[in-house]
Structures are given as C-alpha cells and as structure tokens.
C-alpha cells in the first residue's frame, strides 16, 4: 500500500521536501552546537592564558626578573592579545621591558608567520605585534596592506607603520587620512597624534588642499595635530576668503583647538553669520578667548533663533573666568527673552552641579 502511495508524485514531493527540511534543521543544529563548543573552548583557553601570563607580563613590565612559562602554539593568539593590550596600556621603560620579554619568547617569528594567515583577525594581531616590536623587516608587506586594505586591517597596519618609524610612515599615512573617509575621526586623530606634528609637517595641509572639497570640513578638524604655524596660516586664509558654511564651521573648530587668539576678529565677525552651524562654532571659539568687550555679543546671542546657539552662548557666559555667579545672575535677571533666560538658567545649574564651590 505504501509503495503505491509513494508512486504518487505529490506525496513523493512532500516526503522529499520534509526530509530535506529535517536534514537541514539537524545540520544547522549540529553546526550551532559545534560552534558554541569551540567558542567556549577558545574562551576557556584565553582565560587560562590570562591567568598564567598576566602576572608574568605585569612583573616583566615593571622590570622584575621573571621565570617564563612555556608558550604553546594554542596559546599564541591569546597571549599576543594580552601582550598587545599591555603595550597599549603602558609607556616608557615598561614597553621596552615588554619588547624584551617578547623577543625572549620569539614572538616576532610567530607574528611574521601569522602575517600570512587566512584569518583577518590573526593577520591584524600579527601586524599589531610587529608594530609594537618596531620590527622593520616586514615594512613593505605592512605598507602594502595599508594601501590596499580599506578595512580595520588597513587602519591597524597604518598604526603599526607609525609605531615602527613615524618619520618614514608620515608620507604613507597622512594622505590616507584624507582618502579613508570611513575611518572614524577619533582613530585617524589617534594615528596623527602618534605621528606628531614634527613628522606631519605640511603633509596634512597639502592633503587637505588636494582632497575634494566635501572632505575639507573633516580634515580641517584634524589640523591642530599638524604643524601649528602651517595649520594656522591655512585656517586664517580660509576664514578670510571662504563662504561655505561647513568649511567656515570647521575652521572655527580648528581656531578653538589651536588656541589662536589672533583670529578673534574673524571669530567675532562670524558670530552673526546666517548659518547657525557657523554661529555655534563661532560662539564655541569665542568662549575660550573672550574678553569683557565680547560679553554684550554673547548676551545678544542668547536671543538667537537656534537652540544650540543660545545654549552654547549661555555656557560661554557661565564659564567666563572674569564673571562671578552674581554677575551671571544679574545678566539673567536683565534678560527679556524667555528662551535666553531658560538657556542661562540651565547653564548656571549645570555649572553649579559640576562646580559646587562656584561663587
């Protein structure tokens, strides 16, 4: 009877479909269990490595003589994660001590081997390790990764080049800061900070000039990390001629970051710019360089149409070093604009919370 049923094409199709569905479900379940088990094993291994190596690394960083446990092939990756983390957490002699420890364990050989691995994580770890070891032998390979790889691996490679030789890395890395628009701004700033203004020189200003205009606002905000004189000259020129509100706003951010008090006239002239983004940044820039004669301007901006402009103006007034709390209260009571009064009240309360001794 069953055989005759199986001859029916519809029933056969249903049986085949159900069977394949069950097989797929079982296979997926098996894979999930296996993956979970492997992840657990990896985590356990990492925990064990941390338990064994944490005191050794800490003592080694502090310059104490240490007895080295054996570093098994399975422990290499978690150990390198820990070693790199220590490198990131410390400076000075401790870093050199950790490099000595790494050399004793032969991690440069392991890192060079891992550089050719298929896994992106392993390669990134190897690049980071070679960077911390300041190993120049793989410079070309790492520079190639920086040029070709636009992902996080490329970023790690750029950072490694900076660690190995900042002077040599600057011409490779600085133009990339303009090109890699999707790298987070803070990360790019961290690389430039590690390079130092002496190595960046005029490279960043040139990179800004060569970059498309839509990238300028992002890059101008990084200029404070390059050579101060060249950055100031460029920003002042832009403030004088530029019309684009986004670029002007970025220039005002740069003025604040560079602490350029000589640009105060340009900043004052932009306080009442039609674009609120420019007005906000002008207020922010003025906040750190304002004199008594700027107080009236800031008070006028408390009645601005834009909430951010009112808020930043209120903050600027409240944090002015030459004003006491009573002075600010007097300004508040003299305000006719309800929104401006609200902003100032909020900023007074904020300062009071942050600084209970403010009088």
Q: How far apart are CA 173 and CA 10, in angstroms?
A: 65
Residue placing its CB nearer to other proteins in the complex, 113 or 134: 134
> Which residue, 59 or 244, has its beta carbon nearer to other proteins?
59
- Please give the structure tokens belonging to residue 198: 């002496």
Asked if 359 touches other proteins (CB under 8 A), the answer is no
Of positions 1, 241, 354, 359, contacts other proteins by CB under 8 A: 354
How far apart, in whole angstroms, are the C-alpha atoms of residue 98 and residue 327? 55
Q: Smallest distance, Å, CB 61 to other proteins?
A: 6
- Among residues 67, 70, 111, 71, which one has the least CA distance to residue 87? 111
Shortest distance (Å) from residue 82 CB to other proteins: 7
CA distance 100 to 256: 42
The residue (of 91 and 326) whose beta carbon lies closer to other proteins is 91
**Which residues are CB-contacts of 165 (< 8 A; sequence separation ≥ 6)?**
134, 136, 139
Cα separation, 331 vs 334, in Å, equals 5
- Helix 9-61 crosses helix 76-89 at what angle (to 10 degrees)? 50
Minimum CB separation of residue 351 from other proteins in Å reads 10
User: For tokens 């950055």, what's the residue?
Assistant: 231
Q: Computed from CA positions of residues 60, 111, 121, 164, in that sequence, does the dihedral angle turn out positive or negative?
A: positive
Judged by CB, which is closer to other proteins: 1, or 91?
Answer: 91
Q: In sequence order, which residues have a C-beta less than 8 Å from that of residue 129 and are 6 or more positions away?
A: 80, 83, 84, 102, 107, 108, 110, 111, 114
Q: Is 355 in the site for other proteins (CB under 8 A)?
A: yes
Please report, as residue ranges, which positions from 36 to 55 form the binding site for other proteins (by CB under 8 A). Answer: 50, 54-55
Residue with Cβ nearer other proteins (112 or 193): 193
What string of DSSP letters covers 326-350?
A: HHHHHHHHT---HHHHHHHHHHHHH
∠ Cα 159 163 167 (to 5°): 100
Residue from 19, 63, 69, 259 in contact with other proteins (CB under 8 A): 63
In the complex, what is the shortest distance from the CB of residue 343 to other proteins, in angstroms, rounded to a whole number? 19
Number of residues that bind other proteins (CB under 8 A): 23
Interface positions, 93-152, toward other proteins (CB under 8 A): 93-94
> Which of 12, 42, 85, 324 touches other proteins by CB under 8 A?
85
* 62 sits near other proteins (criterion: CB under 8 A): yes
Is 58 an interacting residue with respect to other proteins (CB under 8 A)?
Answer: yes
CB of 353 to other proteins, least distance (A): 10
Instruction: List the structure tokens of 342.
Output: 């609200």
Q: Which is nearer to other proteins, 47 or 113 (CB)?
A: 47
Shortest Å, Cβ 50 to other proteins? 7
Does residue 198 belong to the site contacting other proteins (CB under 8 A)? Answer: no
Which residues in this chain contact other proteins in the complex, by CB under 8 A?
Answer: 50, 54-55, 57-59, 61-64, 82, 85-86, 88-94, 354-355, 357
């Amino acid at each position: 009877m069953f055989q005759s049923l199986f001859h029916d094409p519809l029933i056969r199709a249903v049986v085949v479909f159900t069977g394949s569905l069950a097989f797929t479900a079982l296979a997926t379940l098996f894979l999930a269990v296996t993956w979970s088990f492997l992840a657990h094993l990896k985590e356990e291994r990492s925990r064990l490595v941390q338990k064994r190596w944490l005191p050794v690394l800490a003592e080694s960083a502090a310059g104490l003589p240490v007895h080295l446990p054996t570093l098994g092939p399975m422990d290499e990756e978690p150990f390198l994660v820990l070693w790199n983390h220590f490198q990131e957490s410390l400076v000075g002699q401790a870093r050199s001590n950790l490099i000595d420890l790494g050399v004793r364990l032969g991690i440069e050989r392991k890192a060079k081997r891992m550089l050719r691995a298929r896994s992106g994580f392993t390669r990134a770890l190897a690049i980071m390790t070679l960077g911390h070891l300041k190993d120049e032998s793989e410079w070309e390979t790492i520079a190639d990764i920086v040029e070709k790889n636009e992902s996080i691996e490329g970023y790690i490679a750029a950072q490694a080049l900076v660690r190995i030789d900042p002077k040599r890395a600057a011409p490779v890395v600085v133009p990339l800061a303009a090109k890699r628009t999707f790298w987070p701004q803070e990360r790019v700033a961290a690389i430039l900070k590690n390079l130092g203004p002496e190595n960046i020189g005029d490279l960043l200003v040139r990179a800004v000039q060569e970059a498309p205009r839509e990238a300028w606002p992002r890059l101008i905000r990084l200029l404070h990390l390059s050579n101060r004189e060249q950055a100031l000259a460029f920003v002042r020129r832009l403030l004088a001629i530029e019309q684009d509100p986004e670029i002007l706003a970025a220039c005002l951010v740069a003025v604040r970051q560079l602490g350029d008090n000589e640009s105060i006239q340009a900043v004052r002239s932009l306080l009442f710019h039609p674009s609120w983004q420019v007005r906000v940044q002008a207020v922010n820039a003025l906040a750190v360089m304002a004199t008594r004669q700027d107080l009236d301007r800031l008070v006028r901006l408390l009645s601005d149409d834009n909430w951010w402009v009112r808020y930043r103006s209120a903050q600027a007034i409240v944090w002015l070093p030459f004003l006491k709390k009573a002075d600010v209260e007097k300004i508040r009571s003299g305000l006719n604009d309800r929104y401006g009064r609200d902003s100032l009240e909020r900023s007074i309360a904020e300062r009071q919370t942050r600084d209970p001794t403010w009088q």
